[in-house]
Structure 1
Amino acid sequence: MTHSQTQKKRTAVPRGRTEPQPRVICVTSGKGGVGKTNIVTNLGYALAKGGKKVLILDADLNLANVDILLGLTPRYNLHHVFMGEKTLQEVLVQGPEGLLILPASSGIMELADLTEQQRLYFLSEMSALAQKIDIMLIDTAAGINNNVIYFNLAARERIIILTPEPTSLTDAYALVKVLSSRHDVKKFRILVNLARSEKEALAVFRKLSIVADRFLDSLSLDYLGYIPYDSKLPTAVREQRLVSDIFPDAPSSKMFSKVAGNISQEEPEMKADGNIKFFWQGLVDL
């Protein structure tokens, strides 16, 4: 082998190497009241208990409640970051099992309306934080407003939360339709909440699949699992604690652990959707 060939071989490896990137999973729903925040926090807890470094981004910028659900009282929030008053590290709060929480604040501006300077500052902060986590869970608002679409487009993975209620199915389809038809997002995973059995959960999933197959092209809907109706859940919410923490043997807690285990064992798809290479850059590009 010649010297020039050796040099090419040496430089080819670093050029093809990529820095480890956290998985970014957007948890969203078409309808409010489906238990999305409860799912995000309990999944985050279960993932952290399984050894993952997890960050929860409360992206419901109008009705932020991740901190309330966890009984936390953060002094600062995303608004202070956007204004350049605090760094992300200063805003982060720690929840149970080492969960990191990035709290939002009710009534602050939409990320979609940030200035370019604010987005670039947010990007630099997020890039530094990315080296410290394995998984980022984004708790979006419900519906199809700008912020919901914004985070769904920036994230690599999306989990849609459904319940057996007919309105939940209708609104979830509306969200999937917007993301698929207008933004060419084609892959979604479905998690059914408040089902009384897996049979009921699968029936709900099939209803959405049938409608999507009929009216939307080249769509991939994958069944992730279900969280059962559980009387321990509202008890935990009233105590501002996680059901997975205080009632580890409850039916819902066991299913949170199972779903978290499935997520942990997955081989994440490294190719990002569209032109968004990484979530962090995607937030600036959108």
Structure 2
Amino acid sequence: MNKLVADQADGLRRLLAPTQARVVAVAGMGPGAGGTTAAMNFAVALAGQGRNVLLLDEHRRADGSACEVWDIDPPGSLADVARGRLALDGAEVRVACGVHVLTAVRSASHEAANEAGGSAIDPRRFWHDGVVVIDAAFDAEGRLSPLALGADDLLLVLQPHPASVTSAYAGIKRLHHTHGLQQMRFLLNNVVDAQAARQIMNNLAQAGSRYLALSLQPAGSVRFDPLVADAWRLKKTIAEAFPASDAAVDFRRAAGEMDRWPWPEPAPLQAAA
């Protein structure tokens, strides 16, 4: 398929989508990979572009979670909204940068989904335009939640070190086999050597295609920046606290590329029995 035809097909999928909201799940591949950092900075960067952004936090409020970093405590959760106990504007918190935050802890969301007949909660039901960013959490067996699996895009975050890359590839393989995922994107975080990072991205993309028949697409890289820790102490992301810093520039660039990501193919219609 040539590029013109591919672009036309992608445009048609956008027009036929039930809403114009895009849902992106962001997950860190291992402790300290920076999944929450990436999810928060992506959300801030997108809000800075004028997007309507909702961040769903699957992590319990603890050190390093989005709610802890921003020092917020949303009065409700995704499960409360899904069950009709609270309206969205009564459950979420809007932080100063313009991002709306709602907790989506897995156990509560799972119970709400069961009450709805077993299907995952779809945030597009109440977030009709803009972007939903899920700060996704793996369970003890390395599986994603139904909420994250229902996203349009899955963005994995990893560090550019041999041990991290090896561990991340094992996790990618597990996600592919467990959930049958055919497409994922990945972001390299805390990059020091740009040339080495480009080689890692190329190698990972080739390995996914050759050994897993998987579309594994690089979504860019973010340079190591000591100001990230200073921003955390200020209860802000680096995109908020130090917008001219290397990492903030890289996060904005990566978020800006999202519009060029093709929308996923729609699921085939089931034939009538």
Taking structure 1 as the reference length, what is the TM-score of the superposition?
Answer: 0.76
The CA deviation at 1:146 is 6.9
Shift of 1:85: 4.0
Contact 2:92 2:102 in 1 (8 A): yes
Question: Structure 1 unaligned runs (5+)?
Answer: 1-15, 277-286
Partner of 2:130: 134
Whether 1:224 and 2:219 are equivalent positions in the alignment is yes
Q: Any conservation in 2 of the 1:144–1:175 contact (CA below 8 Å)?
A: no
Counterparts of 1:37 and 1:76, CA distance in 2: 20
Which of 113, 116, 133 pairs up with 2:114? 116
The answer on 1:158 being equivalent to 2:154 is: yes
Between Structure 1 and Structure 2, the one with more helix by share is 1
Tell me which of 173, 186, 201 is aligned to 1:205.
Answer: 201
Q: Does 1:95 align with 2:92?
A: no
1:242 to 237, 251, 257: 237
Give the counterpart letter for 1:116 in structure 2.
N
In structure 2, what is the equivalent of residue 259 of structure 1?
254
**Mean alpha-carbon deviation: is it higher for 230-239 or for 194-203?**
194-203
RMSD over equivalenced CA pairs, Å? 3.1
- Structure 2 counterpart of 1:169: 165
Q: Structure 2: where are the runs of 5+ without partners?
A: 1-14
Q: Which residue of 2 aligns with 1:180?
A: 176
**8 Å Cα contact 1:42/1:244 also seen in 2:** yes
Shift of 1:190: 1.4
Q: Structure 2 vs 1, CA of residues 70 and 270 (structure 1 numbering), >3 Å: closer, same or farther?
A: same
- Offset at 1:76? 3.2
Shift of 1:206: 3.3
* % identity of equivalent residues: 24
CA contact (8 A) 1:227 1:255 kept: yes
Structure of higher CA gyration radius? 1
Give the one of 263, 266, 271 matched to 1:269. 263
Kindly state the Cα deviation for residue 261 of structure 1 after the two structures are TM-superposed.
1.3
The structure-2 alpha-carbon separation of the partners of 1:206 and 1:267, relative to structure 1 and needing over 3 Å to count, comes to closer
Cα shift at 1:232:
0.5
Q: Say which is worse superposed, 244-253 or 66-75, in terms of deviation.
A: 66-75
Q: Is the 8 A contact 2:28 2:36 kept in 1?
A: no
| TM-superposed deviation, 1:103 | 2.1
Does structure 1 residue 41 correspond to structure 2 residue 25? no
AA partner of residue 209 (structure 1): A
Match of 1:77 in 2: 77
Cα distance, 1:98–1:173 mapped onto 2, change above 3 Å: same
Structure 2 Cα separation of the partners of residues 42 and 228 of structure 1:
13
Say if 1:47 and 1:269 are closer, same or farther in 2 by CA, change over 3 A: same
Give, in angstroms, the shift of residue 189 of structure 1.
Answer: 1.3
Verify the 8 A CA contact 1:77 1:104 in the aligned structure 2: yes
CA distance in 1, matches of 2:144, 2:60: 10
TM-score scaled by structure 2? Answer: 0.79
1:205 positional shift: 2.0
Q: 1:148 to 1:42 in 2, by over 3 A?
A: same
* Distance in structure 1 (CA, Å) of the matches to 2:180 and 2:268: 8
Q: CA deviation at 1:249?
A: 0.9
Amino acid aligned to 1:266 = R
Deviation at 1:210, TM superposition (A): 4.6
Q: Say which SS state the counterpart of residue 144 (structure 2) adopts.
A: helix
Deviations along 1:82-132, whole A, 9 cap, x unmatched?
A: 776433332111013311111245xx62644556325679848x354222x
Give the equivalent residue in structure 1 for 2:3.
none
